[in-house]
Structure 1
């Protein structure tokens, strides 16, 4: 067998330097460094500290923007400006202003300033739209809770003995708030806690008078809140929303009867809130097939009384609407 002639391959170990592709580019290696004796720990510590200090110096330094002339004022002056202008967007302008304007004492002052134009309605002119909007927005602030509102009433109108919920509502009513004050969005939807229901009662005039009709987005939120009240069986919340202008609908009635166990108190609230003479139109169909089918099948489920209750209510509503013959044909 003929012997093979060995061939040098570039880049392989054992090739001459001229045959390697990185010849002349290789960084020289200090062979003596690997053979250096192990340094004691005392000599390593200074070197590590130097490296840490260099790394820290390379970090991006946090920028501290210069404060404006307003932000540099003392907190007392900024609070006076805030109370005078009544602009609730001022604390949102910067974190410096937020820190100087976020205190319970400041909230108390701001509440008194924002609500003053809408109180004593019997002795004043009608508040402007801007004043009404400012008061509604104040009630929508995060700090404005039922607990804080009661604390403000305790401070503004001192009382000789501990108050109950009705006492606070009567105290607020004695201040003669304008009937045009609308509730904030946060009070028009669930979850319907006891505190939220009490707070919503503040916006129902006392003694009862025709309440201002909710409009636009507030009315949509109130309708959604009424559906949540039905699901949670929050009778008081549903009653307040109905008094504030939420009209009962067939969908609400289906929700109360079919989906949530036919709570008679809720069903009665919905039927009693239908006023054809005032609205000119009714959003509850007394001949709704789904409601009639549920009532007729109630006997089979062992709840004949609930079925008869719903049928009687539907028939009475049909008579009020002037459609008795349709009920008979049904």
Structure 2
């Protein structure tokens, strides 16, 4: 029997939407739990806007370059990769080198009375950088030449006589490019180790040769440059690179580090290239007579046996060894006037010493020895260097 539906006044609800007591209890419990969770949740702190200061790498490029060139701090590009990348353009590096070399000399005064503020330590660090190559050096010479003319005024632009520029390095003759007085190299700057080792390229040998001609030195006490130069000389002999041999023979000859083993390598192992042997013997003889060393023997039996078995070069080698032992070996040999252009000149040859002159008197030899001891800077040593040399020679005199 069907039940009779009864209408009840009140809220109308759809059929089937009536909640049971269980559902109501669940909803009440969940709402209470949600309110308790919200009550335990901490209130969010208000955001405080902080002013962020710009970092050094974040500065604009123009401002960063101005700071670098004003501070002249060579360590700034090495502080981070970003700074090194932003400050490594050729324009910036060329301007930094110009200020470290050219602008350290007062070019408006007489050459003998010039005041210099050059720092050999900073210059040595710049020469050791990767960017300082033969092409970069030529760019610096060209930039320095243009800056010099600009400083002297517009009248020099149209003058018939111009100061020597980049063309002075054509052919690399020291008596030409050593006349350039505005490059600003400091006294005592060191030749970097990267130029003392092989493999020997043409540009590397050129840059080394020019730096030696401009009175560069080796740091024998504070680095491994001397040992690297010894190994580099042997490799240059193997590669038959006369220009590298000419430069390294001077650096090692000043320290009397050319020994018999080097001569044997050039003669016996590498076929006795006369030009290379001449570079070695000429530099080895300069200080050997005044302070001979047992490690260098011009009467070495192995060298003379090789000379006996080779008629052409052997006869010439014997003649060279005899003259070297008496400190009478001239740089240019007799009868080779036409071949002088093919011979790499003596790096210290210039206004102070002419390698074409003969050793007829002891005065010329003594002047060459003094020039050699001062790395080609001057024949008469300064008082400071003279006192330093006397202090070094006193203990040896007492032992004798």
The Cα shift of 1:280 comes to 4.3
- What is the deviation of 1:260? 0.5
Deviation at 1:202?
A: 2.9
Counterpart selection for 1:134 from 118, 122, 130: 122
Relative CO higher for 1 or 2, CA cutoff 8 Å, sep ≥ 6?
2
C-alpha displacement at 1:261, in angstroms? Answer: 0.5
1:143-154 to structure 2, matched below 5 A, reads 143-154=131-142
Matched, 1:70 2:56: yes
Shift of 1:110: 1.3
Q: Aligned in 2, Cα 1:67/1:98: closer, same or farther, shift over 3 Å? A: farther
What TM-score comes out, normalization by structure 2 length? 0.53
Is the 8 Å Cα contact of residues 191 and 217 (structure 2) preserved in structure 1? no
Name whichever of 255-264 and 187-196 sits farther off: 187-196
Q: 1:211 to 1:86 in 2, by over 3 A?
A: closer
Q: TM-score, normalised by structure 1?
A: 0.63
CA deviations over 1:124-162 (Å, ceiling 9, x no partner): 2574xxx21211111221111111221222223138899
| Residue 117 to residue 250, structure 1, CA distance change in 2 (3 Å) | farther
CA shift digits 1:12-60 (9 cap, x unpaired): xxxxxxxxxxxxxxxxxxxxxxxxxxxxxxxxxxxxxxxxxxxxxxxxx
Q: Work out whether 1:286 is the aligned partner of 2:298.
A: yes
| Paired residues of 1:189 and 1:225 also in contact (CA < 8 A) | yes
Match of 2:197 among 189, 195, 200: 189
Unaligned runs of 5+ in 2: 1-51, 150-156, 329-400
The correspondence of residues 1-330 of structure 1 with structure 2, limited to 5 A, is 69-116=55-102, 119=105, 122=112, 123-125=114-116, 127=118, 131-158=119-146, 163-164=166-167, 166=169, 170=177, 173-175=180-182, 176-205=184-213, 212=217, 215-216=220-221, 217-246=224-253, 247-273=257-283, 274-275=285-286, 276-281=288-293, 283-296=295-308, 298=309, 303-318=310-325
CA distance in 1, matches of 2:177, 2:74: 28
Find the residue that maps to 2:101 and give its secondary structure: helix
Counterparts of 2:236 and 2:69, CA distance in 1: 37
The alpha carbon displacement at 1:211 in A equals 6.5
CA distance in 1, matches of 2:181, 2:79: 36
Q: Distance in 2 between matches of 1:125 and 1:108?
A: 20
Alignment RMSD: 3.3
Q: How much does 1:314 deviate?
A: 3.5
Q: In structure 1, what is the equivalent of residue 49 of structure 2?
A: none
Q: Is the 8 A contact 2:127 2:192 kept in 1?
A: yes
Q: Structure 1 residue 257: deviation in Å? A: 0.5
CA shift at 1:215, angstroms?
Answer: 2.1
Cα distance change on mapping 1:269 and 1:171 into 2, 3 Å: closer
CA–CA distance in structure 1, aligned partners of residues 104 and 323 of structure 2: 42
Contact 2:200 2:239 in 1 (8 A): yes
SS of 1:204 mapped into structure 2: helix
Unmatched runs of 5 consecutive residues or more in structure 1: 1-65, 322-330
Contact 1:226-1:238 within 8 A present in 2 as well: yes
Q: Secondary structure at the match of 2:212?
A: coil
> Following TM superposition, by how much is the alpha carbon of 1:226 offset from its aligned partner in structure 2, in angstroms?
1.6
